[in-house]
Amino acid sequence: MSQAKLNKILLYSLVAVCALWLIIPFTMAILWSLVDPTKPWTADKLLPPVMSFYRWQYLWENSSLQQAMINSYTLAPTAAVLALVLATPTAFAFGRLSFPGKSVAQTLALLPLIVPGFVTAVFFTAFLFRLGFAHWRFGGIVLAHCVLFMPFAVRIMTVSFETVRQDHIDAARDLGASTCQRWKVAYLPALKPGVFASLLIVFIYSIEEFAVAFILGSPDFVTIPTLLFSQMGQDFVRPNAAVLSLILVVPNVFLMLGLEKLMRSANPALASGKG
Amino acid sequence: MIRKLMATAISLALGAGTASATDLNEMSWDEIVALAQEQGELTWYVWYLQDELRGAVSAFEEKYGITVTIPETTNSGQKDKLRAERDRETGDMDVFATSFNTASELDLSDFFYDLDELLPDTEGRAQEIGGISGEGYLFGFWGNQTGIAYDPAHVSVGDLPQSPEEFAAFWAANPGKMGFNYEKGGSGPSFITNTLRVLSDIDFYNPESSPEKIASLQGGIDFFNEHAANYVITASNADSITRISDAELWMAPAWEDHLAGLQKRGEARSDIAYYIPSMGMSGGGNGVAIPLNAPNAAAALVFVNWLTSAETQTALNVSFGTAPTHADADGSKALVPAEQRVYQTGWASKPFYSDMLAHFVEEVVLER
Amino acid sequence: MDWRKSAQVVLLLLPGLGLILAMIGSVLYIAVAQSFGYYNLTGESGFSVEFWESMLDRKIYNRSWRYSLYIGFFSAIISVALAYPLAIWLRRPFAGSDVIGALLKAPLLVHGLVAAFLFINVVSYNGIFNQFMQGIGLWDGPRRLQNDQNGFGVLILQVWKQMPFALLIMIGSVQAISDDVLDAARDLGAGAFTRFRRIIAPLSLSAMQAALVIIFMGAVADFSFQVIAGPTNRQSLAQLMVFFKENGQWNDAAVVGVTLMVLALLCAGLLALTARIIVYGRIR
Over residues C250-283, the pLDDT tens digits come to 899 999 999 999 999 999 999 999 999 988 876 5
Segments forming the whole domain that contains residue A85: 64-272
Residues forming beta bridges with residue B67, ordered by sequence position: B41
In 3D space, the residue among C217, C107, C110 whose CA is nearest the CA of residue C160 turns out to be C107
User: Does A21 map to a domain?
Assistant: no
> Residue A37 falls within a domain, yes or no?
no
Tell me the range of A229-243, B130-144, C172-186 where mean pLDDT is highest: B130-144
DSSP designation for B289: E
Find the CB nearest C125 among B183, B248, B368.
Answer: B248
Kindly report the backbone phi and psi dihedral angles of residue B102, in degrees, each rounded to the nearest multiple of 5, phi listed first. -105, 5
Interface contact A111-C228, CB threshold 8 A = no
pLDDT band with cut points at 50, 70 and 90 for residue C23: very high
Mean pLDDT for C98-116 is 82
Q: Tell me the percentage of chain B whose pLDDT exceeds 90.
A: 62
- Find the CATH number of the domain harbouring A151: 1.10.3720.10
A chain contacts of residue B48, beta-carbon cutoff 8 Å: 234-235
Angle at B237 between CA B233 and CA B242, to 5 degrees: 85
Q: What is the SS3 assignment for A21-85? A: HHHHHHHHHHHHHCECCCCCCCCCCCCCCCECCHHHHHHHHHCCHHHHHHHHHHHHHHHHHHHHH
Which of A42, A222, A238 has its CB closest to that of B72? A222
Sign of torsion, CA C220 C225 C230 C236?
positive
Tally of domains in chain A: 1
B267-322 confidence digits (pLDDT tens) = 888 899 999 999 999 998 999 999 999 999 999 999 999 999 999 999 999 888 88
The pLDDT of A220-236, averaged and rounded, is 85
Backbone angles phi, psi at B146, to 5 degrees: -95, 155
- Model confidence at B19: pLDDT above 50: no
Whether residue A237 lies inside any domain: the answer is: yes
pLDDT of B169-193, one tens digit each?
999 999 999 999 998 889 999 999 9
In a domain, residue A76? The reply is yes
Residues of chain B contacting residue A247, judged by C-beta atoms under 8 Å apart: none
Q: Which residue of B has its CA nearest to C64?
A: B366
pLDDT at B42 over 50: yes
CB contact under 8 A, B365 and C147: no
Superfamily of domain C54-280: MetI-like (1.10.3720.10)
Q: What is the band of A275 on the pLDDT scale with cuts at 50, 70, 90?
A: very low
As its CATH architecture, domain B19-143+285-320 has: 3-Layer(aba) Sandwich (3.40)
Which pLDDT does position C268 carry in this prediction? 94
Choose the CATH number for B145-283+337-367 among 3.40.190.10, 3.40.50.300, 2.60.120.620, 3.40.50.2300: 3.40.190.10
Residue whose C-alpha is closest to residue B246's, from B171, B147, B177, B174: B177
Kindly state whether residue A253 falls inside one of the protein's structural domains: yes
pLDDT band at B12 (very low <50, low <70, confident <90, very high): very low
Report the residue from C63, C125, C147 with minimal CB separation from B366: C63
- At C43 the pLDDT is 63
Check pLDDT > 80 for residue A135.
no
Q: Give me the residue spans of the domains in chain C.
A: 54-280
Question: What is the average pLDDT across A255-270?
Answer: 62
Interface test with C, best of B240, B359, B366, B367 (most C CBs within 10 A): B366
Q: pLDDT tens digits, residue range C152-161?
A: 999 999 998 8
Phi-psi category of residue B75: left, alpha or beta, with phi > 0 → left and psi -120 to 50 → alpha: alpha
Outline which parts of chain B fall under CATH 3.40.190.10: 19-143+285-320, 145-283+337-367
Which of chain C's residues have a Cβ under 8 Å away from the Cβ of B233? 232-233
Among the partner-chain residues B76, B246, B368, the one whose CB lies closest to the CB of C233 is B368
Is the Cβ pair B362, C59 closer than 8 Å?
Answer: yes
Measure C235 CA to nearest chain B CA, in Å: 10
